[in-house]
Amino acid sequence: MRGQKDIFIVADNIVSPLGGTTAENFSRLVAGITGVRRQDRPEMADQPFYAALFGSMDGEDLLTEDAAASHAAGGGFTVFERLLASSVADALHQAPGIHPADDRTILIVCSTKGNTHLLDIDDHTPAERISLPGSAAVVARHFGFTQTPIVVSNACISGLLGMITGMRLLRSGLFDNAVVTGADVITKFILSGFGSFQALSPGHCRPFDRDRDGINLGEGAGTMVLSTRREYRHGLRLRGGAVSNDANHISGPSRTGRELGDAIEVALREAGCGAAGVGFISAHGTATAYNDEMEAKAITLAGLNAAPVNSLKGYYGHTLGAAGLIESIVTLASMREGIVVPSAGFETNGVSAPLNICRSLLRGPLDTCLKTASGFGGCNAAVVLSK
C-alpha cells in the first residue's frame, strides 16, 4: 500500500539437520536430500518414528556444545537457547550494520514449546528457566540487545506472526531494525502430544497427497533480520502480512478455508499485489487430512490455485514455532536462485480443490511469493515476499 515504509530483509539463517546456514540448507533441498529419518530413540518413544532431528544425519551435530560454540560462544545455554543463539549469530554476522546494542533494534523470539525439554530432565526446574521470556532474556543478554525482547508464541504460526510483528513495529516507527528468530526442539513431551491426536505418520509424510496419513516432526531454527534503512533497499522485501482465526475447534481447522483465505487476501492487499502477481506459494502443508484440505480451499478462494505450490514438511518435518521462519527463508533463497523445490512425498492429488503442486525443480524468475501457516486454536497467517 502507498505510504507504508518498505521493510527490507537484510540477512537470514537456517540451522537444521540439513545444515547450519541458509546456503547449506538450500543446496541440500535442491539436491533432493531430506532430513526426515526413521528414529530409534527409546528415551523419546517406545516405537520407532519418523522425524527430522539433530544427530540423525551423517556429519556434524549442530546441537552439540562444540558446534554451537563455533557460532555463538558462551555457556549456560539450554539446547533450545543454543539453537536460537547459533542462528542469530550467523544472521548478525551477515549484517554488520545491525547492532544489537542499538536501542532502535528489537529482538523477537518465536517458539511453541521453548525449554519444555527441561521437564523431561528435572521436574524441579524453576519456572523462570522454562518460561519463554526467560530464554529470550538469556539470548538477548548474550548478544547485547538493550531493548526487552518480544516473545511470540501462537502455535504453528509463531514464526510468521513474529515476522508480521516485526514488520508492524518497524512501520510504526518504534524501531528501525528487527531480529526475528524462532526455534523448537522435539522432546518426548511433544512427540507424545501429537501421538495422542493420532497425527503422526508411520512413515515419510506426504503433503497434499491422496495417501497422506499424518505429520513428521522436526527441529530447527530460523532467523530473519528486517530493517527500514534505505541502505538495504537492494534486497528482498517483506511487503505484507495478516492473521486470522477460524473460531472452529481447538485442534481442527476450518472446514471451508474461508478464514485463511481472508488472511491471504488481506496480506495481498497490504502488499499492493493481486492474485495474478503471485509466482509461487510456500504452503503450510502438514500432510494431515484436515489441514491440507482446508489450505487447498483457502488458496482456491483467494484465486491462487493456478500458482505453483510446495510444502517443505517432507524435508524438515514440522518444526512448529520455527516452521514459518524456516520456510519463509527457503522461499527467499528460491527467489534469489530462481529455483522452487518440489514438494517431497507428493504423487497424486488428494484434496478436493486441486492445487498446482510442484513435482520437480521449477526454474525461472520469482518476483512475488506467498507464505502461509495455520495452527492449533484456529490461527492462520500469510505473508508476501517480493523483490
> Do 376 and 248 share a structural domain?
yes
> Do 33 and 169 share a structural domain?
yes
Question: pLDDT (tens digit, 9 = 90+) per residue, 146-170?
Answer: 999 999 999 999 999 999 999 999 9
> Do 115 and 30 share a structural domain?
yes
Q: Is residue 317 part of a domain?
A: yes
Q: What is the 8-class DSSP label of residue 235?
A: S
Q: Is residue 1 part of a domain?
A: no
Secondary structure class of 250 (helix, strand, coil) = coil
> Do 256 and 128 share a structural domain?
no
Residue identified by cell 519456572 is 127
Q: Average pLDDT in the 176-181 region?
A: 98
- State the CATH number of the domain containing residue 351: 3.40.47.10
pLDDT of residue 324: 98
Q: Is residue 2 part of a domain?
A: no
Q: Is residue 101 part of a domain?
A: yes
> Do 271 and 148 share a structural domain?
no
Distance (Å, whole) CA 241 – CA 218: 25
Distance (Å, whole) CA 338 – CA 341: 10
Does residue 250 have a pLDDT over 60?
yes
> Do 245 and 214 share a structural domain?
no
> Do 216 and 68 share a structural domain?
yes
Categorize the per-residue pLDDT at 197 as very low, low, confident or very high, splitting at 50, 70 and 90.
Answer: confident
Q: Average pLDDT in the 107-128 region?
A: 83
> Do 193 and 57 share a structural domain?
yes
> Do 197 and 286 share a structural domain?
no
Secondary structure class of 252 (helix, strand, coil) = coil
Domain limit, last residue, from 181, 205, 232: 232
Q: What is the pTM of this model?
A: 0.95
> Do 241 and 226 share a structural domain?
no
Top-confidence residue, 334 or 251: 334
Question: Hey, which residues does 183 pair with through a beta bridge?
Answer: 221
> Do 267 and 217 share a structural domain?
no
Distance (Å, whole) CA 218 – CA 353: 28
Q: Is residue 373 part of a domain?
A: yes
Categorize the per-residue pLDDT at 76 as very low, low, confident or very high, splitting at 50, 70 and 90.
Answer: confident
**Can you state the percent helix, strand and coil of the chain, rounding each to 5?**
35, 25, 45
Q: What is the 8-class DSSP label of residue 234?
A: T
Does residue 72 have a pLDDT over 60?
no
Domain limit, last residue, from 209, 232, 255: 232
Does residue 71 have a pLDDT over 70?
no
pLDDT of residue 63: 59
Domain limit, last residue, from 200, 232, 264: 232
Q: Average pLDDT in the 210-218 region?
A: 98
Q: Is residue 3 part of a domain?
A: no
* Number of domains the chain contains: 2
Does residue 308 have a pLDDT over 70?
yes
Question: What is the extent of the structural domain holding 227?
Answer: 8-232
Q: Is residue 324 part of a domain?
A: yes
> Do 252 and 304 share a structural domain?
yes
- CA distance readout (Å), 154 to 45, 165, 198, 240: 26, 12, 22, 19
